[in-house]
Amino acid sequence: MSTTQIKTFEEYQEAYKRSVEDPEGFWADIAETFTWRKKWDKVLEWNFEEPDVKWFKGGKMNITENCLDRHLKTRGNKLALIWESNDPKERFVRFTYKELHERVCQFANVLKNNGAKKGDRICIYMPMIPELAIAVLACARIGAVHSVVFGGFSAAAMADRINDAQCSMVLTADGLNRGAKQIPVKRVVNEALQTCPSVERVIVVERLGWAVQMVEGRDVWYHDEVKKVGKDCPAEEMDAEDMLFILYTSGSTGKPKGVVHTCGGYMVYAQYSFCNVFQIEESDIYWCTADIGWITGHTYLLYGPLLSGTTTVMFEGIPTYPDPGRFWQVVDKFGVSVFYTAPTAIRSLMAAGEDHVLSYSLDSVRVLGSVGEPINEEAWYWYHLHVGKDRCPVVDTWWQTETGGIMISTMANVTPMKPSHAGLPLPGVQPILIDSDGNELTENEVEGYLCMKFPWPGMIRTTYGDHERCRLSYFSTYKGLYFTGDGAKRDKDGLYRIIGRVDDVINVSGHRFGTAEIEEAINHNKDVIESAVVGYPHDVKGQGIYAFVICNEIPENADHLRAEIVETVVSKIGKIAKPDKIQVVSGLPKTRSGKIMRRILRKVAEGDTSNLGDTSTLLDPDVVTEIVEGAL
């Protein structure tokens, strides 16, 4: 598929060795495979103190020429994008590379016609419809910086992000479908824009055919605007270090952090990591179930696949609508060969029972992927057995919004696979483990804080408008290192297992436990679907362990269940890790990307529920009320 694709473990070892000994030569060879208007003057300039990182300095290019134009001769009639609706009865939509190129050029011309220019920040708040993917690429085509805000965020959350980036334009839709619900997206935009003076233009795509309130002089319909433009739009020349996009990630202070990625390095890393981790082949139908509003959607639904000339599937719906077989129905419908989803989705489908997955053949699948959090062993085995039929490798990918792409992962059928272990670092990635005193742990079979000691092309460059925040968040904890915020273990073979955020580490009587470790033990109980564990102040142990547990059904005898859970944890980890409190709940406070809001659970565990912060952006805010009322 790619001249830089690694095919064997020996090739991996050679590539990894070279990437450490000669990182500039290694990445220059990979970058050579792309289309550049002007080659770079210098491969890398960096220091982690300020921090200041520049890749392919002086290089000129446009990422959309590499996603679209360069494929037109050889892959013009190949499918680029398959879109599947929320409603299985609605017809799917397909675009060849030639058709997608035309649509992106049209949208780019609409943006320019409405005053957008290179360097402008454009907020995109859209459902998972083809126009969302097209809008992202159209921004990149004209050199505007896209800031995609997930279509489930509240008006206040959206306004924060627009104001932080000083966006001049918003791209949106009349409404969206999510499962059985329809959500009035434009109404949310109207509310948000009451406090966003920088926005001069709103372009609205029709999805539901709803009558919406349009503000004269500011709001226009996309279907009207597109009639005024042609299908050709030359790509804007960009410097390798020009901003490509801002993506906001929740900050510990509550104020969202605008993570900035740049054009050249992100492009090279997205394509390289995509091809190698998933071992992409020319004939693959690839499906990443993430929303484009998250980094996974940016890198592995859109940019990575299109840079590689792959056919990528985009899905509007949710895994359980109209029933929990929906994912597998789509896999069979399009012959999906590489499938990439989140452990949260896998666990919810496990809970629905095997019948929904056994109804489908899934014969086309050859690689499975997991993303978003460490996958627990039980979910790993279920996924491997029922979806992968015991024959497909599972790539358990570890990376972050800030890293731009996958950093540590099994490469399908190339590097060793071990359940609930991310595995080995990709070539070009130099992870190290640090102890609490800041010393590097060089041996295997150790646990520490996960850091990176050398830059990689896809990494964060700054946090928008506040470089000091970038330095403090990622580069100030350990001198000369990028600190991931995660704890990890390295096993006897050098494979990494991520044990959760460092702020998700509980210190019980001087022993450190990753919350993921305890949760995994609890989840082994046959009645437990999912759990979340937090620490709370304990008079004797320093920190006690409080577990929130979701069960298959409400237990007849809660005390009996608690005793069983304690017994499981003791047998899996030891007495020191047994939960002090176990609360049975119907759900957990999660963001719409499936991330558990442990901050809320910690406050409940500590008995401090007076200020839980904004819960409106959660998947189900009502869960919080139930948890607070049932607190032990």
- Mean pLDDT, range 296-323, rounded to an integer: 97
Tokens, residue 542: 């320093």
Distance CA 296, CA 247 (A): 11
What average pLDDT does this structure show over 413-428? 97
pLDDT at 254: 52
Looking at residues 399-405, what average pLDDT do you find? Answer: 96
Q: Which amino acid is located at 267 in the chain?
A: M
Angle formed at CA 111 by CA 72 and CA 208, multiple of 5 degrees: 90
pLDDT at 632: 85
Name the residue among 123, 67, 139, 101 with its Cα closest to residue 293: 123
Q: Over 90: is that where the pLDDT of 35 sits?
A: yes
> Are 471 and 416 contacting, i.e. CB atoms less than 8 angstroms apart?
no
Q: Is the pLDDT of residue 487 over 50?
A: yes
Instruction: Residue 521: name the closest of 330, 384, 377, 373 by CA.
Output: 377
pLDDT at 516: 78
Instruction: Classify strands 93-96 and 79-84 as parallel, antiparallel or unpaired.
Output: antiparallel
Closest CA to 418 of 394, 453, 437: 394
Structure tokens given for 547: 């577990």
Who's near 526: CB < 8 A, 6+ residues apart? none
The least confident of 69-73, 273-277, 561-565, 592-596 is 592-596
CB count in 10 Å sphere of residue 382: 19
pTM comes to 0.86
Q: What residues does each domain of the chain span?
A: 9-340+456-482, 509-629
The answer to whether residue 251 scores a pLDDT higher than 70 is no
> What is the distance between the alpha carbons of residues 88 and 96, in angstroms, rounded to a whole number?
22
Q: What is the fold of 509-629? A: GMP Synthetase; Chain A, domain 3 (3.30.300)
Superfamily of domain 9-340+456-482: ANL, N-terminal domain (3.40.50.12780)
Whole-Å CA distances, 528 to 46, 98, 243, 387, 584: 48, 49, 45, 21, 10
Distance CA(616)–CA(157), nearest Å, equals 9
Which pLDDT tens digit goes with each residue over 545-576? Answer: 999 999 988 888 889 999 999 998 887 777 77
Tokens of 184: 């009035």
pLDDT at 1 over 60: no
